[in-house]
Amino acid sequence: MTQARSKLVVGNWKMHGNHAANAELLQGILAARPLGVDAAVCVPFPYLSEVAVTLANSGLAWGAQDVSAHEQGAYTGEVSAAMLMEFGCRYAIVGHSERRAYHGESDQIVADKAKAALARGITPIVCVGETLAQRQAGETEAVVKRQLSVVIHTLGQCIGEIVVAYEPVWAIGTGLTASPEQAQAVHAVLRAQLAAATARAAEMTLLYGGSVKPDNAAVLFSQPDIDGGLIGGAALKAADFVAIVRAAA
Ligand code: PEP
Q: Can you name the residues that pair with 10 across neighbouring β-strands? A: 40, 230
**What torsion, rounded to 10 degrees, do the Cα atoms 178, 130, 233, 205 define?**
80
Q: Which residues contact 182 (CB under 8 A, 6 or more apart)?
A: 168
CA–CA separation, 223 vs 229, rounded Å? 12
Ligand 1 mean position, distance from CA 228 (Å): 13
Give 21-62 pLDDT, tens digit per residue.
999 999 999 999 988 899 999 999 999 999 999 999 999 999
Q: Which parts of the chain fold into alpha helices (H)?
A: 19-32, 48-55, 81-86, 97-102, 107-119, 132-136, 140-155, 180-195, 217-221, 238-247
Average pLDDT, the chain: 96
Give 198-246 pLDDT, tens digit per residue.
999 999 999 999 999 999 999 999 999 999 999 999 999 999 999 999 9
Question: What is the chain's length?
Answer: 249
Which of 151, 133, 129 lies closest to 141 in space, CA to CA?
129
* Ligand 1, atom 3, residue with closest C-alpha: 232
Report, as an integer, the average pLDDT of 164-180.
94
Pairing of strands 123-128, 91-94: parallel
Query: Is it the case that residue 183 has pLDDT exceeding 60?
Result: yes
Q: How confident is the model at residue 175 (pLDDT cuts 50, 70, 90)?
A: confident
Contact yes or no for 43/22 (Cβ under 8 A): yes
Query: Is it the case that residue 3 has pLDDT exceeding 60?
Result: no
Report, as an integer, the average pLDDT of 129-140.
97
Query: Is it the case that residue 4 has pLDDT exceeding 80?
Result: no
**Is 124 a pocket residue for ligand 1 (Cβ < 6 Å)?**
no
* Ligand 1, atom 4, residue with closest C-alpha: 232
Ligand 1 atom with the shortest distance to the CA of 93: 3
Ligand 1 atom with the shortest distance to the CA of 235: 8
**Is 167 a pocket residue for ligand 1 (Cβ < 6 Å)?**
yes
pLDDT of residue 23: 97
Taking the model in full, what pTM does it have? 0.97
pLDDT of residue 34: 85
3-class SS of residue 33: coil
Ligand 1 mean position, distance from CA 207 (Å): 12
Contact yes or no for 81/120 (Cβ under 8 A): yes
pLDDT of residue 176: 87
CATH number for the domain running over 2-248: 3.20.20.70
Q: How confident is the model at residue 134 (pLDDT cuts 50, 70, 90)?
A: very high
Query: Is it the case that residue 191 has pLDDT exceeding 80?
Result: yes
CA–CA separation, 198 vs 160, rounded Å? 6
* Ligand 1, atom 7, residue with closest C-alpha: 232
pLDDT of residue 58: 95
**Is 173 a pocket residue for ligand 1 (Cβ < 6 Å)?**
yes
Query: Is it the case that residue 14 has pLDDT exceeding 90?
Result: yes
Contact yes or no for 171/216 (Cβ under 8 A): no
Catalytic residues: 96, 167
* Ligand 1, atom 1, residue with closest C-alpha: 232
Report, as an integer, the average pLDDT of 133-138.
96
65 DSSP 8-state letter: S
Q: Name the residue ranges covered by the structural domains of the chain.
A: 2-248
Which of 50, 6, 47, 1 lies closest to 206 in space, CA to CA?
6
Query: Among 172, 207, 208, 240, which is best to mutate for testing ligand 1, by the most ligand atoms less than 8 A from CB?
Result: 172
Query: Among 167, 176, 213, 220, which is best to mutate for testing ligand 1, by the most ligand atoms less than 8 A from CB?
Result: 167
**Is 95 a pocket residue for ligand 1 (Cβ < 6 Å)?**
no
